Amino acid sequence: MKKSDRTTIIVIAVVILGFAFIPGAWDWFIRATKNHGLLMSFFKFAILGTFGEMLSLRIKEGVYYKEGFGLLPKMLVWGVLGVVIASAMTIFKTGTVVLLEKGFHIKKAAWWFANDLSWGKFFVALCISVLMNTLFAPVFMTFHKITDIHIAETGGTLAGFFSSPLNVQKTLAEKINWNIQYGFVFKKTIPLFWYPAHTITFLLPGTLQVLFAAALGVALGVILSIKK
């Protein structure tokens, strides 16, 4: 085990133990999530999403960080995407319940989803996950890939990131490996990983859903690094 691995484990343990044993730490976190949901979403995804990419780099190349990795721009992008994801989760939770009740005449959908764990609640959570990951996730994943390419091409600095606009058309046409993006990321990770993972997400209390969704970015980083 490398020194960087030991340091990473220690930092993770300190954070977990801090929330477990520092009086009021967890209550503050829950309260901040309720009162400042989108802002907290920014920081959750900025930290956990970027850590997922660092973990992926560690698996592929043996290091958590290297020149040109783009730590700050990646954190910025993940933070902004975290706000978008939190907003999408709210939209799809509300919209799916309305669709089930009004469109499919499943009158108990809202009641199931608002109450304790049951097969009905599981069904609603699964519907939300399938709709969100089918309609929203491919756009989100593609945009994230575009920003990753832009960060790599501009030196991994904030100044470089803002020095030129995203060349979306050229990146979509020439720079994305669609055999991986569609053949693996869309076709396999969405139904096999994201459908069940976000079903679990929507079964959790509302204050923990965005945190768990952000933590899933760490798991996906491992999956993608193994694929590569």
Inter-CA distances, 66 with 29, 50, 57, 58, 152, Å: 32, 14, 9, 10, 12
What is the distance, to the nearest Å, from the Cα of residue 136 to the centroid of all Cα atoms in its chain? Answer: 12
pLDDT digits (tens, 9 = 90+) for 81-140: 999 999 999 999 999 999 999 999 999 999 999 999 999 999 999 999 999 999 999 999
Contact, 220 vs 51, CB < 8 A? no
Q: Any residues with CB less than 8 A from the CB of 202 and at least 6 apart, and which? A: 89, 93, 124, 125, 128, 129, 209
Give the tokens for residue 44: 């959750």
Q: Look at residue 115 in the predicted model and tell me its pLDDT.
A: 95
CA dihedral 190→195→200→203, nearest 10 degrees, is 130
DSSP 69: -
pLDDT surpasses 60 at 228 = no
Element (H, E) at 66: none
Contact, 118 vs 173, CB < 8 A? no
Q: What is the pTM of this model?
A: 0.92
Per-residue exposure over 78-90, b if at least 16 CB sit within 10 Å of its own CB, e if not: bbebbbbbbebbe
